[in-house]
Structure 1
Amino acid sequence: MIQPFQLNPAQAVTKLLETAKPQQQATPAEMTNSFGQYLEKALNSVDAQEKEVHKLNDKYLIGEVDVSQVLIASQKAELSLQLTTQIRNKVIDAYQEIMRMSV
């Protein structure tokens, strides 16, 4: 038999307060490092996708993989590259806007 779910209001408030506890604030240097690491991982991922497309293309030429696999990998890599380009453009725009600000 399935037992009915009962929620004690005090438990609900306690759980809510536990999740609402303030997180440890990161320093600007730590935030810069984590953002830099995030960008590095993203760029490495795009690079890995490009390399995978080249490997699949070579395998296609010798008949080991189907053309659909090459096309799918190619489209994924192209979308990743387009996203990376758009992010770069937004970062450059933000930097230029910051540089135009008067202090």
Structure 2
Amino acid sequence: MIQPLQLNQVQPASASKLLEAAQPKQATPAELTQSFGQYLQQAIDGVDSQIKNVHNMNDKFLIGEVDVSQVLVASEQAQLSLQLTSQIRNKMIEAYQEIMRMQV
């Protein structure tokens, strides 16, 4: 026999709860600056760790623990990361200079 399906009663939502759910919390400029600064710091730390990895791979290559292809791949990754970091730095400096040239 087919059993009837029982549904829970729907509670009406208040207007304030709907507005709170619809509007995301606005971050303050200090919070945005801090999160951007943390992002940059993590990126720089990542590049630094890749460079340290290349030095470790070179040492291991000299004693015969790793293959030359592994050293080359790690070296190329670190070089590309460093180039990307320097290009980001250049773009940030250009943006800062452009903002400073604006007349208010």
Shared fold (TM-score, shorter chain, > 0.5): yes
Structure 2 letter corresponding to 1:26: A
Distance (whole Å) between structure 1 residues aligned to residue 79 and residue 30 of structure 2: 33
Residues 2-50 of structure 1, C-alpha deviations (whole Å, 9 max, x = no match): xxxxxxxxxxxxxxxxxx9332111000000000000000000000000
Structure 1 letter corresponding to 2:44: L
Structure 1, unmatched stretches of 5+, are 1-19
Distance (whole Å) between structure 1 residues aligned to residue 99 and residue 53 of structure 2: 38
Structure 2 letter corresponding to 1:84: T
Query: RMSD across aligned C-alpha pairs, in angstroms?
Result: 1.1
TM-score (norm 1): 0.79
User: Equivalent residue for 1:44?
Assistant: 45
Larger Rg: 2
Distance (whole Å) between structure 1 residues aligned to residue 80 and residue 22 of structure 2: 38
Q: How does 1:1-103 map to 2 (within 5 A)?
A: 21-103=22-104
Distance (whole Å) between structure 2 residues aligned to residue 87 and residue 22 of structure 1: 32
What secondary structure sits across from 2:40 in the alignment? helix
Consecutive aligned runs of 4 or more in structure 1 exceeding 2 Å deviation? 20-23
Structure 2, unmatched stretches of 5+, are 1-20
* Paired-residue identity, %: 70
Structure 1 letter corresponding to 2:57: L
